[in-house]
Structure formats: structure tokens, C-alpha cells
Structure 1
Amino acid sequence: MILIVLLMLVALIALGFPIAIALLVSSIFYFFMQDVPGMLIVQQMMTGAPSFVLVAIPLFILAGQLMNNGGITRRIIRFCNALLGRAKGGLAQVNILSSMIFAGISGEAVADTAGLGGVLIPAMKKHGYSAEDAGAITAAASVAGPIIPPSIPMIICASLAQVSVGQMFLGGALPGLLFIVMAMVFTYFIADRAGFPRGEKSNWSELYHAFIDAFWALMAPVIIVGGLITGIVTVTEAAVIAVLYVFIIGQFVYREIDLRQVVSELWYTAALSGAIMFILASAKVYTYALTREQIAHVLTQSLDIFISSPNLLFIVIILIALVIGAILSTTAGLLLMVPLLAPLVDASGIDPIHFYVLVTIALCIGTLTPPVGINLYLAASIAEAPPQRVFLRALPYLLLLLAIIGLGIFVPSLVLALPHLVYGG
């Protein structure tokens, strides 16, 4: 029966049904066929979304929206340009470094692409970059958003897997920073061959004034991530601080927040958060059906050969995650995979933080790949370039992400060093 339910779920998603509806319809079918009381559906949904940790999701979404409204994004870009604009591939380097700073506040890739891409892609085209290169670098660098803490996909994954959000955040920090460094080094070495122009050289005075102007904006990720790393605040408290801090400096320091625009941003945040919570509530019903059918025991028995070799299991699941990430959104991929993977993690002895961080990164790569690739299509739209050509230019950066996942599998300390340092273990 559970196989029929899983096939129905996949079929509904393939037919274009929203993931929440697909989860709910396939689960209701299971309940009906097994003569399970319908009231259990309501009970499971009621326990699926209410969580103090999940409150962080709408708050980080709102913080990302307020960054663009309050002039923070523009100041971050100006500082990065004063710092790196004259380097080889100057604006490309600025784009990548800005993504790292932006990632420390927003927690999602789409906000990064929309916020930074709306400013940097036209600027890059104006300074001689091709539309394809401008879109590709923006889309690829934005993948750092959900890897470097804070990260909305990691909040969702941790909630589903019942593991520490803080440890997952720290687990993604080093891989995310390594990707930024590798992307910048790669861009430096290919700049001449790719025809990336240099920007105008900034003097010390311009750099100083850009830094002073952006100081409060640059302090945002320091305060948010620093509070998480030191354990001073929880994830949800950090999200509250992010919204308050971004609003205060945008309204009272930079004096650029348009209060009328804030209302539309609140509506956007509420709508997106409501959709996410409905998905999580529906996923709880689906997870209950899997648990009732003892899917954990079935999978453990079926994949016994992989469980005896954790690295092989890791590689197989990462490959599956890459495929699922390419055809589903990151959230949908997490909802589909995590309930199935949890028993395998327990049976194989793999550290769950190590496992779920790398799986989340693999699913996030899907935002850069066809046919779904929301980051890819958004960046291509802003750049006014064919998505397929943008993807080809982004391919080297995608390979860097895959290399980081491979390194993370065989060198677990890349993921686990910071969680163990802060939380022990």
C-alpha cells in the first residue's frame, strides 16, 4: 500500500500539483484505504507546523525584504566594489562577496538573487560583462544564501529530522565560506580568458567612506551569526534580532525605508510563510503514514549493503538528492526525502548533522539547474539572457559546489568542526 501512496505522490507532483496538496491527497488516500479515522489527519496537521523554531522562517524572509527597502543591499555592494572593484573580474568578485554578506542575513537564495541581481546584473552588463556571465555569476553565488547561516532550508530540514538547527547552521558555515573563496579564486584565474573587465581603482579615501557608510549594514551578519555561534541567542531570537536590526538601521540610520512598501513586504512574508507552514503540516500526515507502514524497517532491510558502507550510502543519497533538487523545489525535496532518510541515518551510524547538511546543500544546488532552477531562471530573467546559456556559464561554479560536497563526505570535519567546537561532541 505504501508503495502506491509514494507513486501517487510522485505522479501528482509530476502533474503539477502543489507539493502540499500532493502530500495531503496521497496521505488521505492511504487513510481511506486503511480505514484510519479521518480525525487523525487533523491531529497530525495540527502538530506539523506549530514550532518555536519555525517562527524563524517568516522573520528571516522579512529581514531579506527589508534589506532591499532600507538601502542595506546598496551599501553592501558599494563597499564590496570599493574593496574589490579593481581586482581581476572586479564586479564578478563584488557579486560573490556581496552574496556572502547578504547570506548572513536573509537565509535564502531567491532573496539574494533578486536583491543583489537587481542591482549588480545591470551594472555588470553596463561595464562590459555579457548578459549570460552576469546572470550565471549572480545565480551561482546566491546558492551560498541557504548554505551560510542563517538558512531557511536548514531550519526546515532540522525540524523534519528533529536535529539541532544551531548545529546545522554551524555545519553549513565552513562549506559555504569555502565555496565563496573557491568561486572568487576561480573567477580571478579565468577573468582574463573570459574577458571580465576590471573596474575603476578605488583609493583609500573612497574605501574608508564606503566602509563607514556600510558599517551598520555590515554589522548585521556579524551580530546575527555571532549570536548564534556563541550561543547567546536561539535561532528564533536571532531572526527577531535580524528583523529589528534591519528595520532600525533602515528607518533611523539610513532613513530609506518606505513604510508603504513595508506593508506589501509583510503581505508577501505572510503569504510565503503560510504556504511553507501548510506544506509542513501536510508533510506531518505523510510522515505518519510512512511510520505506520514501518517504512524504516523496509528501507533498512532493502539497503543493507549500503548501510554497511556509510560513504557509499552517502554518495548514493547525494546523487538522488541532486536529481530530486533538479525537478522539485528545495523545500519539496526535503519534505520528500528527510522522512525516508531518517531511519537510514540511524542504522548507518552517520552523524545526522553531517548527513543532513550535505543533503540540504545538494538539494539547494537544484536552484541552479534545469528544469526547475528558480535561481537560474530568475537571474536569466533579470539579465535578459537565455536560461540555457546562463546555465552553461554557471556550470563551473556548480562543479565547485559538487567538489565541496565530495570533500564534505570524505572529510567530515569540514561540516562537523564548528558544531563540535561550539556544542561539544
Structure 2
Amino acid sequence: MTLIMVIGLFTFLSIVGMPLGFGLGIATMIAILATMNIPLNIVMERMLLGVDSFLFVAIPLFMMAASIMNRAGVTDRILAFATSLVGHIPGGLGHSNVVASIIFGGISGSAIADSAALGKIEIEAMTKQGYPKKFSAALTCASATIGPIFPPSIPMVIYGGIAGVSVGKLFLGGILPGLLIAACLMIMVYYFAIRKNYPREPFSLKRVKDDFLASFFPVMTPVLIVGGITLGVFTPTEAAAFTVLYAFILGFFVYRELKISMLPEILMETITTSAVVMFIISTASAFSWVLTRAQLGRVLSEWASSAGSVAAFLIVVNVILLILGMVMESTAILIIMTPLLVPVAQVLGIDLVHFGIMMVLNLMIGLCTPPFGLSLFTVSQIANMSLEDLMKAILPFIPFLLIALLLVMFIPSLTTWIPSLFFK
């Protein structure tokens, strides 16, 4: 009864347009009042426990670092270096778009930050060179999925905190899947470039050298973060704090494009964005606790035991996550489903690093999948085009992202090999 009520209420509130965090909290409180003989203050307790983690301090810090880097002129330098590196391939600026997402994703750890920071520059540059605006916007939206897969990654910090998995292992495990997504998208860009004769730029070794030197410090950011965590120099939260300091130094003293007057706006943007994320985490934690009390975990465990194989379990989980990702915010799905699915994965002997990266990759595809992917809304605003046009344009990219997901799903070594080299 509790299970049906809480899921039904949340579904109804989502349909009528209730903000996600409030929908989760209201559904949780009504379900407790109606079906559970426990004090209502348990909701507040579970909400506080949901965010009471030193690891989660990394979330606003990575957001602040991305905001600083964006205002420090880093995005222009990253795109220039990516263009000099791969711009000579047919569909040059399309490939630059993908490579720039790898580099900037290694700074922000967020798909939305990637879309917001790089999107406008990339779409304008591609459109000026003759690429269709719809193609440019769709590629920008699709390539933003790389950000939370390639280290560092805010969703992986959340998953690691809930599942009790090493964030360092998750960061390292995301390297090959991130490169795999990039390869899939670049194959698609190459195919369309050959068919439609998209432009490319001449290759110059001197330009590569000059642009690399100009963007050297931002490019080194993910190396410093992952290297520091792997070598035990700092924890993931300390790595996030280091990234903020590093961004300040670049903005104020190296590139000198960051001004004191920009700091209030940066701080307010960070506070606003991270407050929304943390509120969703807290209410989703209480919602997940109610689902657990309602024996959803037991139901899933029994179902997994009768599934017959690990492959069948992974396929069904991915189908469920893809469907949820089309209509819900990925952070909430991750927080709700992780405590329910991880025990089942453990029973089946699935490596939790592999399982976590697979979940994050799946949910990032959901960000650019119609009808409610958040990246779709972000990119449509940046590109000044209708959401309907972008939804149609993104559809050819989805199969290529699903190919990457299937490879990650069925080849666990893509996510576990690099972590195994550094963590014994």
C-alpha cells in the first residue's frame, strides 16, 4: 500500500508540474502520514542524513570551479586547442566540439555546465562555417554527456557517497567510457561530413603547439585532480577545493580575465545551483528511505534472483533507467535508485565501479533524450531555437550513445581495467 501510494503521488505531482524536490518531499510526507505509524519529523531527519556527507561538499566546489573557468577565458582556449588538434578531419569543428567536451568535462564534471559554458561558442563557430544550426546544437547536446563520465564527475561523487564506492576508482573507471562516447560521436560526425561535405580546416603543427601552450593549464586540470586522488595527495572533496584555488590562480594571475567584480555573481550562481541540487538530494534520500521501508528492495532482490542471469538484470535496469531519464532529473534518479539497486548488484556479483559508471552513462543519455532531458532545454535556449526542432535533430545521435552504453554494459573491463592498475 505504501509503495503504491508514494510512487503514485510522486508521479501525479510530476505530471502536474510540481518542482522535483517539492514533489519528492510532499509524496514522502503524505505516504508517511497515511500508512506509517512513525513521527513526521523522521522526514527531516532522513533529509539531513541524506546530505550529511563530507564527500558532497565537492559538488558546489566543482560547480564554482567551472563557473570561474568559464569567466576566466578558459573555454575559448580549450575550443581553439581542440580545433587545431582535430579541425583538419572532415567535419572539423564537429570533432572539435567533442574534444572540447572531453577537456572541459575534466574541469566541471557536469553535463549542464558543459552545455552552458561551451555551447554558445561552439554553435556560433559551427554555424559561421556553414554547419546547419540544428546539427550544431544537437551535437553540442550529445557531446555534453561526456562531461560527467570523464573525470571528475559530480554524478559519480553522488553515487560513490551513496554506494560506499571509492570515488577515485570511479573517476579512473570513467576514462575509457568517456573516450568511447567521444569516438562514437566522432564517427557519426565524420559520416555526415563526408555525405554533406562539411568544411574542415588546414592542419598546422605550429598552431597545435601554440594553442596547446595557451591552454596547457586548463588541460592539466583533470590530470592534477585524478592524479592527486589516485596518489593519495588529497580526497575528492579536497581535490574539488584545489580545483577552485587553481581556477582562481588561472583567472587572476595567469590569464588576468577574472575580475573582483565577478566574484559576487560567481558565488551567487554557485549557491543557487548547488542549493537546488542539495535540496533534491535531501528529499530524494527521504523518498528512497520510504521505498526501502515499503520493501521495494526485497521485491527487486527477489526479482533479480529469478532473473536468471546478470545480463538480463543489466538489460532490465538500463531500460528502466532510460525510461526514467526521459522524464525525470538524473540526480534524483541516481539518489533514489542507487540504494535500491546496489544491494541487488552485489548479490549478483556485479562490480560496483562498473555498475555505477553504467548507471551514470545511462542517465547522461537521458539528459539529451526527449521529452524532458535537461540538456535539451539548456542548449535550445543557448542556440535560440525551438525545443521541438532540437528534439528532432538529436534523434540520430541517440543510437550512437546507446552503442557506447551497450559496450560499457557488456564489457566490464572498460570500466575496471584502469582502476585495477592503481588500486590493488
Return the alpha-carbon distance in structure 2 between the equivalents of residues 302 and 186 of structure 1.
38
**8 Å Cα contact 2:285/2:335 also seen in 1:** no
Q: In the alignment, which residue of structure 1 is the partner of 2:250?
A: 249
Q: In the alignment, which residue of structure 1 is the partner of 2:50?
A: 48
Q: In the alignment, which residue of structure 2 is the partner of 1:375?
A: 375
Return the alpha-carbon distance in structure 2 between the equivalents of residues 378 and 297 of structure 1.
38
Matched, 1:344 2:326: no
TM-score, structure 1 normalization: 0.94
Q: CA offsets per residue over residues 19-60 of structure 1, 9 Å max, x none?
A: 222222122123223220223223222211121110000011
Deviation at 1:291, TM superposition (A): 3.0
Matched, 1:298 2:295: no
Q: In the alignment, which residue of structure 2 is the partner of 1:360?
A: 360
Report the more deviating stretch, 135-144 or 283-292: 283-292
**8 Å Cα contact 1:132/1:386 also seen in 2:** no
Q: In the alignment, which residue of structure 2 is the partner of 1:326?
A: 326
**8 Å Cα contact 2:287/2:336 also seen in 1:** no
**8 Å Cα contact 1:104/1:225 also seen in 2:** no
**What amino acid is the match of 2:365?**
I
- In structure 1, the gaps of 5 or more residues are none
**What amino acid is the match of 2:411?**
V
Deviation at 1:303, TM superposition (A): 4.3
Pairing of 1:106-117 with structure 2 (within 5 A): 106-117=108-119
Deviation at 1:63, TM superposition (A): 1.0
Return the alpha-carbon distance in structure 1 between the equivalents of residues 342 and 213 of structure 2.
47
Report the more deviating stretch, 221-230 or 262-271: 221-230
Matched, 1:267 2:232: no
Going from structure 1 to structure 2, the CA distance change for 1:265 and 1:342 (only over 3 Å counts) comes to same
Return the alpha-carbon distance in structure 1 between the equivalents of residues 3 and 392 of structure 2.
39
Pairing of 1:27-176 with structure 2 (within 5 A): 27-33=28-34, 34-176=36-178
Deviation at 1:148, TM superposition (A): 0.7
Return the alpha-carbon distance in structure 2 between the equivalents of residues 189 and 294 of structure 1.
49
Identity %: 38
Aligned length: 422
Q: CA offsets per residue over residues 103-138 of structure 1, 9 Å max, x none?
A: 111001111111111111111111111101110111
**What amino acid is the match of 1:315?**
I
Deviation at 1:356, TM superposition (A): 2.0
Where 2:216 maps in the other structure, the secondary structure is: helix
Q: In the alignment, which residue of structure 2 is the partner of 1:399?
A: 399
Going from structure 1 to structure 2, the CA distance change for 1:133 and 1:252 (only over 3 Å counts) comes to same
Return the alpha-carbon distance in structure 2 between the equivalents of residues 231 and 179 of structure 1.
29
Superposed CA RMSD in Å reads: 1.8
**8 Å Cα contact 2:105/2:147 also seen in 1:** yes
Matched, 1:207 2:208: yes
Going from structure 1 to structure 2, the CA distance change for 1:392 and 1:231 (only over 3 Å counts) comes to farther
Deviation at 1:294, TM superposition (A): 3.1
**8 Å Cα contact 1:330/1:367 also seen in 2:** yes
**What amino acid is the match of 2:316?**
V
Where 1:143 maps in the other structure, the secondary structure is: helix
Q: CA offsets per residue over residues 131-151 of structure 1, 9 Å max, x none?
A: 011101111111101111111
Q: In the alignment, which residue of structure 2 is the partner of 1:277?
A: 278
Q: CA offsets per residue over residues 194-220 of structure 1, 9 Å max, x none?
A: 331112x25333332222222222222
**8 Å Cα contact 1:132/1:380 also seen in 2:** no
- In structure 2, the gaps of 5 or more residues are none
Report the more deviating stretch, 63-72 or 227-236: 227-236
Where 1:11 maps in the other structure, the secondary structure is: helix
**What amino acid is the match of 2:193?**
A
**8 Å Cα contact 2:103/2:219 also seen in 1:** yes
TM-score, structure 2 normalization: 0.94
**What amino acid is the match of 1:88?**
P
Report the more deviating stretch, 163-172 or 271-280: 163-172
